[in-house]
Structure formats: C-alpha cells, structure tokens
Chains A and B, each alone.
Chain A
Amino acid sequence: MPPIIETRNLTRIYRPDTVPVYALNGVDLDIEEGEFTAIVGPSGSGKTTLLNMIGGLDRPSSGEVIIDGTEIHDLSDSQLIDFRRTHIGFVFQAYNLIPVLTARENVEFVMLLQRWSREERHRRVLELMKAVGLEDKLDSRPAQLSGGQQQRVAVSSALASRPLFVLADEPTANLDSQSSGKLLDMMARLNKEEKMTFLFSTHDQRVIDRARRVVTLVDGKVDSDLVRDTVTPPS
C-alpha cells in the first residue's frame, strides 16, 4: 500500500533574494497509514516548516508533497483549503478552539463546513467526546475547560470529519505532565483502535517515548529515522 504522505526532495528557502535560509533542504519522507510518528530536532531544524508543508499551509520552494496520491504543491490556495478540510486534521499548540463556541460546536465545526447532516454530526460528536472522556463537557466553552481538556476537545475536533491523518504541533507544550499523559494515552488509543495516523512535531520526551517512529531533523535535513519495536506504555 502506498504511503499516505510522501515528500520528495522537499526544500523551503526563506529570503531567497538576500541571505537565503534553508528551513528544509531536500527532505524525503514517507508516512504509512496508522503511523504514530514524532518529528524531533533542535529549534530551527525545520520541524514546523515540514508540518506546514505536509499540511498544505505553506508551499515548498522546490520538491513535492504528495498526500494520498495528490500532489498538493500544485493545488491553488482554494483547492488547498478544500483539501485540508477533507483530508487533514490539525491540533495546534494553542488557539485550537473558537472561544465563543461550546465544545460540541467546536467539534461540529468542520463537519458543518462539510455539510454533514444534523444527525450525523450529533452522533459523531457524542462518539468522539466519549472517546476523549469529555461527554459531560459538551456545552462548556473553552474558557471553562482546563488546558488538557481543551486539547482533548481539539483532538476530537481534528478527528471529527474522519481525516486521513492528524498533524499535531507541540500538542503537549502548554500542558502539565498529568494532562500530557492523558492526552497522549488518548491519541495512542485512537491510533491503535481507529488506525488514525498521527504526525507530531515535538520537544516533549513523553511524546517521543510514545512514538513508534522518530524522525530527527537537523538544519533542514533528515538526520535519523528510527522505527521502534517497543514504545512506552500508557500511564
């Protein structure tokens, strides 16, 4: 089965006309379905840039990004937005949730954009919020939730429309250890039970320990690509 994410000689140069900075410098990467992969590296190594490219939020200076057979680097801005909506889930470090909407409404949001029926949305929201253990927080606003709870709602929101994979940029960066643990447990369970592919960018050792594959970037290049047989069990 072909990888769901492929990058070919992916390069991103900032300020090419003055002092060029190679945020990515010829990255080749394949991600299979069901992977739980961490992208690690020092600050400035290109982790976020790589996730931006794969998520279609930024365009490469050269090279290719192929998601489920589609060369997304050739898509127009509008096509990219549509593609993201149907194929990719996002969990950001912060600002995941719309502050004026409840948890239920935040999770429903992408389904609304995809014009799911009311019944389908209702069913999926309950299913996801139960999966993340927050079925009693459906009508809470983000301000009424803890950081960990917000991130769990964000994961539900990212999974709501059944994307091909979820990109998570430092999802535990703002969480205490207990909340981080719960979040990781949940994502690992979803990865195992629903075969959901997760791709993280992280500094967090706890995330790294739970990842089955760890790709290390240094100066915009893949320094190492380690696949583990065993990972740290759930807390």
Chain B
Amino acid sequence: MVVTALALGIWAALAMTGMATGMMRSYVRSAIGIQTAHLQIHHPVFREQMESRYLLPEPDQLQTTLLSMDGVSGVALRSIAQGMVASSRGTRGVLIKGVDPGQELTVSTIGSKVISGAFEELENSNGILISVQLAEKLKVGLRKKVVLTVQDLSSTITSGAFRVVGLFHSGNTPFDEAHVFVHRRDLNRMLAAGQSGSIPGHEIAVLLDRPERAFPLADSLKQMWPTLDVNTYRQLSPDLQLYESQIGSISLIYLSVIMLALVFGIINTMLMAVLERTREIGMLMAIGMNRVLIFRMIVLETLMLSVIGAPFGLLLGAITIGWIGKKGIDLSSFSESLAEFGLDAMLYLEVDPQVWFQVPAAVLLTGVVAALYPAWKAVRLKPVESMKRL
C-alpha cells in the first residue's frame, strides 16, 4: 500500500509540476513570441515617455551588427506610436506597431496568430491587422475601414484611414485588445509630419536561438552602445521574470505538499508494522540486537519501501509527461478565461531536468523522516513487555 501510495504520489507531483511548468513556460514563450522577443533596444527615454520623437539612431547599422552576432536568429525594426483606432461604432486607445512584415516574422509569432486575412497583406498600402476582440468591440470585420489617430513628431494630432487586412487572435486578451499592426512605412508617413527622409524607428526587437543568451548579450550590447536602452524580456515584462523564477519554486511546493501527505501515510504504516512486530522486536532485543540496529532496521525498511515505489512513480510520470508533452491537453473549453491571463488553450506538460533528481531525493528524505518516529517507538520497547513473557 505504501509502495502504491508513493508511486502515485510521485506521479502526481510530476504531473502537477509538469502542468504548472508547462503553463508558465507557455505563457513566457507566448509573451516572447508575441510581445517582447528576447531583447529590445530603444532610445533611452522612449519607454518612459512613449513619444514618437525619441527615435533610434542609425537603426540599419544596429540591425546589421546584431545579425552578425552569435545566437541571433532574427532582428526587426519597428515604429511605435500610441494612438486611437476608431470605427463608426467605437473608439479604442491602442499601441500601434509599424512593422516590416518580412523582418517581423523573424522575431514574432504574430503571423501564425492571424485567423482571417493574411499578415503579408500589410505590404498593401494602409493595411491594418487588428485582433478579433478589437474588431468585435469596433464592430468591424475584414476589409472594413478604421481610422488611426496619432500625435506626430511635431506633436500635431494626425489621422489616417486604414483597411482591415487581417484579424488575429494571440490567446492573450489584454495584448490583443491593446495592439494593432500596420506597415512601418504607413505609420512613419503619419508620424513624419511632412518631413523628408524616412523615420528611423523606435524599437529593434531581437530573437535568439536560446533564451538564456539574452542576458549576456544584453550586457555586451549595453557596453557596446551605452547611450541606448537595452532590455531583456524579463526587464520588459517583469511578470515573465516572476513566472520564470517561480517555476522552480512551484515544483518544490507541489513536491513538498505531496511528500508531506506521504510522510503521514508512511508513518502510519510503519507504526502499524512496529505494533504488529512488537513481539519480534522484543525477541530481537532479548537475543542481543541493540537499539541502534533496531532503529537502523526500521529506517532501512522504510527506505526500501520508498526506493521500490519511486521508480514506478518516476516511470508513470515520465510516460505521462512524455505523452501529454507531445499531445497536449486541450483546454479550449476554457480558452476565453485562459486568454484573459495570456495562457494558451493547449497545455503541454514540461518538467525541468533537475526535477527528475529532486523527486528521488525528496522521496528518500521523506522515507527517512517518516521512519524516525516509528523507529523511535520501536527502540523504546522493553523486551519483557513486548514479549509478555521470556
């Protein structure tokens, strides 16, 4: 029974950890894919002020340098403006992202989130990509017109008419409702306020082949370009840092709770075993087995149960995580609620490598801790009382 409880407990710990980690990783990956990329570079004041006049200097050179660096898989220049999108039925404040579709697809997954129309149609003049939620609020659809209003470089309010060329659904409702995408050329034209020459851009987004490269690369870029504002995805979105830092803690919490429950189960079982073997233990003490050996015997027996149960639990967990890690759990019936929190409807279980070591270690520790009280009870037995008679 203890072996089964241990195996199921370990399986549950792994499955729950896998779910929590999968959910958090999914959120982080989604945020990186849709919002932040791995790194962003701005004018030092831009993120604070969000004004169009804070432009990046020599963005072409910056892009070329970045693309030559190890681990950089995509670089995209963006123009950014805060503004309004209006239809005949509604108005919303949005962040307007002016992108180069070809570059944007190398750093963002937004192209794959378009469910109607096509991301590439932004190449058409004055095309706009809005979210399904925003379209609903504005009561517009594909091919309908909306008006974007921004403050240009001379601080004049200016407007432009755009045709909806695509509707996207990222699964992150707050993001979807707050962002629209246009071609960078079209946004720059609005911002330029009649100035000659192209607008350089406000933001360079960088995607890397591995997220962990972001931090040393950011440090290098800060040294290389001390006048620019270089930020990793954790700095851009502190909730991502929170999620990533909590992944390890969450698995430990789940493990601790399950092991705590198991401890009591094991204590109960071993206490019963000591009770049932009172005479045997009394006999062993009578013939000369000292208390240290009795104590060790009980502890080892408990550990044996743990050692036998653990591999079964690990195997069950590995099968579950391997299978659901590939197939995923379809939570689309909860997709609206999940989207409010920026979570995907498909949940893939993930477990960090160190968890596979933490679990056996936790099981052994649990076994030892659980054994202490029954072992103490065993060594407290008096041979005469235990055996009733000599």
Contacts and interface: CB of A to CB of B under 8 A. Distances in A.
A48 B293 CA distance: 27
A93 interface: yes
Interface in A16-62: 48, 51-52, 55, 57-58
A109 B287 contact: yes
Contacts of B286: 55, 57, 84, 90, 92
B280 A169 contact: no
B220 interface: no
Given A52-B390, A95-B279, A201-B390, A57 B287 contact: no
B291 interface: yes
A48 B291 contact: no
A150 to B, nearest CB: 13
Contacts of B285: 81
B389 A113 contact: no
B82 to A, nearest CB: 77
Interface in B332-390: 383-384, 387, 389-390
A196 to B, nearest CB: 16
Contacts of A182: none
Nearest to A158: B287
A71 interface: no
Contact of B288 (A48, A81, A201): A81
Interface in A51-80: 51-52, 55, 57-58, 77-78
A55 B390 contact: yes
Interface in A99-129: 99, 109-110, 113-114
Nearest to B390: A169
A143 interface: no
Contacts of B384: 52, 57-58
Contact of B290 (A81, A98, A201): A81
A110 B287 contact: yes
A29 B62 CA distance: 104
B280 A82 contact: no
Contacts of B288: 81-82, 84-86, 110, 113-114
A77 B390 CA distance: 17
Nearest to B290: A81
B138 interface: no
Contacts of B293: 113
Contacts of B291: 77-78, 81
A90 B290 CA distance: 16
Contacts of B290: 78, 81-82, 85
A3 B279 CA distance: 32
A33 to B, nearest CB: 21
A40 B243 CA distance: 78
A167 interface: yes
A96 interface: yes
Nearest to B285: A81
A57 B280 contact: no
A201 B389 CA distance: 11
A157 B287 CA distance: 10
Contacts of A114: 288
Contacts of A57: 286, 383-384, 390
A48 B389 contact: yes
A62 to B, nearest CB: 18
B275 interface: no
A57 to B, nearest CB: 5
A82 B387 CA distance: 19
B284 to A, nearest CB: 8
B287 A48 contact: no
Contacts of A158: 287
A164 to B, nearest CB: 13
Contacts of A82: 288, 290
Contacts of B283: 90, 92, 95-96
B260 interface: no
A85 B286 CA distance: 8
A48 B390 contact: yes
B289 interface: yes
Contacts of B284: 98
B390 A85 contact: no
A84 B287 contact: yes
A227 to B, nearest CB: 24
A157 B280 CA distance: 15
Nearest to A83: B288
Interface of A: 48, 51-52, 55, 57-58, 77-78, 81-82, 84-86, 89-90, 92-93, 95-96, 98-99, 109-110, 113-114, 157-158, 167, 169-170, 201
Interface of B: 279-280, 283-291, 293, 383-384, 387, 389-390
15 contacts: A48-B390, A57-B286, A81-B285, A82-B290, A84-B288, A89-B287, A90-B283, A90-B286, A92-B387, A92-B390, A95-B279, A95-B387, A98-B280, A109-B287, A113-B289
The 9 closest A-B pairs by CB, nearest first: A85-B288, A169-B390, A81-B290, A95-B279, A51-B390, A84-B288, A57-B383, A57-B384, A58-B384
Given A86-B288, A110-B287, A167-B390, 6 more contacts: A52-B390, A84-B286, A89-B287, A90-B287, A113-B289, A201-B390
